[in-house]
Amino acid sequence: MRASPEWDRQRARLRALLFDPAARAAHVEGHAVDALTRGTDRVQLSRTAARLGADLRTRAHRGARTLAETYSGSLEGQDLRALAEAFVASPEWARYGERVDDDRQECLEEAFGRFLAARGVGDPELLRAELIDGVVRALLVQPRAAFRVPPEIAARHGARFAIVPLRGREYLVAAVGGRLVRGPLGPAEAAVLREGGRATTSEEEAARARLIALGFELTPPPAAP
């Protein structure tokens, strides 16, 4: 059932009061009072908005890590309080929680990463690696994702994984066998994961065996004669 235009207007107004510092300041100063917000406790409103910003900085999401921990490299030296306040007033926050691809939502980890990227925070390659790492961790906690999964994250070989380029190397980030697997990835392992077929060299056969030991569902290498 589709919401009425009046409901959409009221929801947008309430979102602005909670997440837009300028709109909230105008309301607290008494310059933007309407029938919807006349009875709102202005002090409590400011406290609620501050608590939302603090939660973003300090609360572990899905029982995993905080956003500050997820993006620790990119956020080094940044004003986390100011970024949290700007995030909840941003288009990326507005998209978070809305239906986007295939009737699914962006997860908070991706929305915050997109927000940082749009503002040029941190090194783009490191930021993307941290975003992918954060989403894979979310998939470990919530395998049947109700949120959109970035296209870099594959769903095959019995795992959710990505091969992430960073500082001239490739790294594996995977949710496989109920655990998180992270670390540098050799060319042979990367080739097996990307191609998925039978190994064509002894090096790839050894790489396939190592990946199976990690929990990937791959055809075992042939037994030695």
In the structure, what pLDDT confidence band is assigned to residue 55 with cuts at 50, 70 and 90? low
Residues sharing a CB contact under 8 Å with residue 145, sequence separation 6 or more, in sequence order: 104, 107, 138, 139
Given a contact cutoff of 8 angstroms between Cβ atoms, the answer to whether 138 and 64 are in contact is yes
Q: What percent of the chain has pLDDT over 90?
A: 39
Least confident of 42-46, 58-62, 77-81, 149-153: 42-46
- Find, among 105, 127, 106, the residue nearest to 117 by Cα: 127
Q: Is the pTM of this model over 0.75?
A: no
Please say if the pLDDT value at position 100 is more than 90.
no
Please give the angle made by the CA atoms of 188, 191 and 196, to the nearest 5 degrees: 125
C-alpha span between 190 and 203 (Å, rounded)? 12
Domain boundaries, the chain: 1-40, 52-150, 153-225
Find the helix or strand (DSSP H, E) in which 110 lies.
helix 108-118
Give the mean pLDDT of the chain. Answer: 77
pLDDT at 213: 94
Pick from 119, 222, 212: which is nearest to 158 by CA? 212
Among the ranges given (106-110, 113-117, 147-151, 193-197), the one the predictor scored with the smallest mean pLDDT: 193-197
53: helix, coil or strand? helix
The two structure tokens encoding residue 185:
């990835």
Cβ atoms 89, 19 nearer than 8 A: yes
Per residue in 118-159, pLDDT (tens digit) is 999 999 999 999 999 999 998 998 888 778 889 999 999 999
pLDDT at 23 over 70: no
Question: Residue 39 has which token pair?
Answer: 């009875």
Give which of 4, 41, 5, 105 is closest to 17, Cα–Cα: 41
- Per-residue pLDDT tens digits for 171-220: 999 999 999 999 999 999 999 998 865 556 788 889 999 999 999 998 76
Cα–chain-centroid distance for residue 34? 36
Phi and psi torsions of 62, nearest 5°: 55, 25
Residue 61: predicted pLDDT: 62
